[in-house]
A = this chain, B = another copy of it.
Amino acid sequence: MPTIVVDVMPKAELLDPQGKAVSGALSRLGKDAFTDVRIGKRFELTVEGEVTDEILAEARRIADDILSNSVIEDVVGIEVVE
C-alpha cells in the first residue's frame, strides 16, 4: 500500500534541545565527526488505493495545519513511497 511520508523539522533558527543533548552525548563518546544534530518527526500516512493529486494536496494541507506547528517547525519534505 502506498505511504505518504511527511518530514517535519524544528525551524533552523530555533534551538533544538533534544538535538543539542544528543550532540553533546556524541561528543562525550568521542564521536566528533558530527558537528550538529537536529531531531524532527517523520510521519507515515498509509493510503488505501492510489495516491491521486487530490490526496497528495490533502496530505500537504494536513502536514501544514495538523502535523506541524508552523510557529516552531517546518515541513521539509512530502513524498510518496510505494
Pair A42/B44 contact, Cβ less than 8 Å: no
User: In whole angstroms, how far apart are the Cα atoms of A18 and B23 in the complex?
Assistant: 25
Pair A9/B40 contact, Cβ less than 8 Å: no
For the complex, would chain A's binding face be called helix, strand, loop or mixed by DSSP majority? strand
Using Cβ atoms and an 8 Å threshold, which residues of chain B touch A40? Answer: 41-44
Residues of chain A in range 29-75 having any CB-CB distance to chain B below 8 Å:
29, 31, 33-48, 55, 58-59, 62, 66-67
A interface residues (Cβ-Cβ under 8 A, vs B): 1, 4, 7-9, 19, 22, 25-26, 29, 31, 33-48, 55, 58-59, 62, 66-67
Give 27 CB contacts A-B under 8 Å: A1-B35, A4-B34, A7-B42, A19-B43, A19-B44, A22-B43, A22-B66, A22-B67, A31-B62, A33-B48, A33-B58, A33-B59, A34-B45, A34-B47, A34-B59, A34-B62, A35-B47, A35-B48, A36-B46, A37-B45, A38-B43, A38-B44, A39-B42, A40-B41, A40-B42, A41-B41, A42-B42
